[in-house]
Amino acid sequence: MIISEKSQKQILTKIDQWLDDNTPSMVNDILRLVRIRSISDASQGFKGAPYGQECLDALNTVMDYCNKLGLPTVNHEGYCATAVLKGNLNDEIGIFSHLDIVPAGNGWSFDPFDPFVRDGFIFGRGTLDNKGAVVTTIYTVKCLLDLGYHLDHSILLFFGCNEEKGMEDVKYYLSKNKAPIFSFTADSDFPLANAEYGIYRAVLRKNIGDSNLEDLYAGEAENMVPDKAWAIFSNLNFEELQSFCKNSEAIQIVALPDGLVKIIGSGIASHAAFPQKSKNALVTLADFILSHKLALGSAEETFRFLANSYRDCYGIGLNLTSAPSDRLFHIGSCARLKDNMLSQTIDIRYAPEISSENISEKLNAHCEKYHFSVGQIDVNPPMYISPDHPAVKALTSISNQILKTNNPPHIAPGGTYARKIPNCVGFGPNISHDTNPFCPGKGSGHQPDEVTRIYNLQNALKIYVLGLLEIDHLL
């Protein structure tokens, strides 16, 4: 380490004192940001706000935070915003985070956009993914300024609005600006993610006109396990269906006009990268429909596909793998029925040794059995930086020192901006396997009742300050 152990202790003492004074305002700035429903939606975009007004509001809010620190900011045509702490060199170290959030979904025990603090946690949609981190990166720069630490490299803060929906924001930025010489995304777990799984996403389609299925709907985001799914049928008996589910909390039956019946299935939501404890509502719905032989014609085969394909999350149901492992995960997310054509999205996360070509071959073979076609394939290859990179070694060491752990760099199933940026890793602020006040299926990112622990953000700020001071001398 370039910074001595004695100097580190002195710096940490100053940061602890600084946090005592600044944590309340940092938390208040997070609360203000979480109140903005910044769901990235290109259909609501306009010139200067390609992802909608709420994302623009979030950009303006963080630019206001940065301007109060005296940092120059740039709004990049509404795709993203940047702020720069100018150093002695033109070369930049980048810190990337995002303001867009996934839809709130169902199952909340409080208003997701009326955030509050309780028992050391901040509650609200986006607190963990990724607005708590956004504000923490800004306060990292504030801490450097307040404590008088001046870096040789300039520090670039990047705030995106399309991370959850394709990362077109960072592509736009890099098409017009030089990438930093080294970067990290504040959208991962400590100690450091030097690799990310590949992401294979496709839309599966099938014509189901010859059936009694009138509509099918599931999922609010492509990278979320749906916690609600519903189907509307004709030619079913409402009273009989009610008797089928009288002892089930996972199925609801609703009578609709014109003799139609709506069947609603419930599940447990999760991020597509961490589906192990989820329960796909499409499977709940399909199991009920199949067990009572409610679907006619091609709809019956459709629900068999859904039940068989998404009962597990390890690729077994798709015939991609033969046994559970941590090398591949899959989910079925959004489903929409329009003009007798079903479109259903699949999200597959795969380790670097697995090829996307092999996934395509096996997925096509599986889907053909059920008369589905595979289209709109979008492949984001795995990301990898050597664990022996000097900055990777330094940041990992600092994280382990502050958190009193001894963990190596890891591969992350989630997809962050790191896969789009040269020389970029995932670096906190989250703690893997951290607990929260809720039962499984709640409290994390992409889940209802999302929370973040204030103590983790405080530790992240310490790690970020020390990390920047260290790699400023290394790069």
Q: Closest Cα partner for 30 from 111, 99, 89?
A: 99
Q: At which residue do the structure tokens 């993203």 appear? A: 80
Residue 113 has a CB neighbour count (10 Å cut-off) of: 16
Q: What is the Cα 378 distance to its own chain's centre?
A: 17
Q: Are 189 and 412 in contact (CB under 8 A)?
A: yes
Each residue's pLDDT expressed in tens, for the chain with a length of 475 residues: 788 888 999 999 999 999 999 999 999 999 999 999 999 999 999 999 999 999 999 999 999 999 999 999 999 999 999 999 999 998 999 999 999 999 998 899 999 999 999 999 999 999 999 999 999 999 999 999 999 999 999 999 999 999 999 999 999 999 999 999 999 999 999 999 999 999 999 999 999 988 999 999 999 899 999 999 999 999 999 999 988 988 888 999 999 999 999 999 999 999 999 999 899 999 999 999 999 999 999 999 999 999 999 999 999 999 999 999 999 999 999 999 999 999 999 999 999 999 999 999 999 999 999 999 999 999 999 999 999 999 999 999 999 999 999 999 999 988 899 999 999 999 999 998 899 999 888 999 999 999 999 999 999 999 999 999 999 999 9
Residue spans in the chain of domains classed CATH 3.40.630.10: 5-197+383-474
> Which CATH code, of 3.40.50.280, 3.30.565.10, 3.50.50.60, 3.30.70.360, is assigned to 199-380?
3.30.70.360
Domain 5-197+383-474 CATH superfamily = Zn peptidases (3.40.630.10)
One-letter amino acid at 72 equals P
Complete edge-to-edge strand list for the sheet that includes strand 121-123? 116-118, 121-123, 451-453
Q: What is the pTM of this model?
A: 0.89
Residue spans in the chain of domains classed CATH 3.30.70.360: 199-380
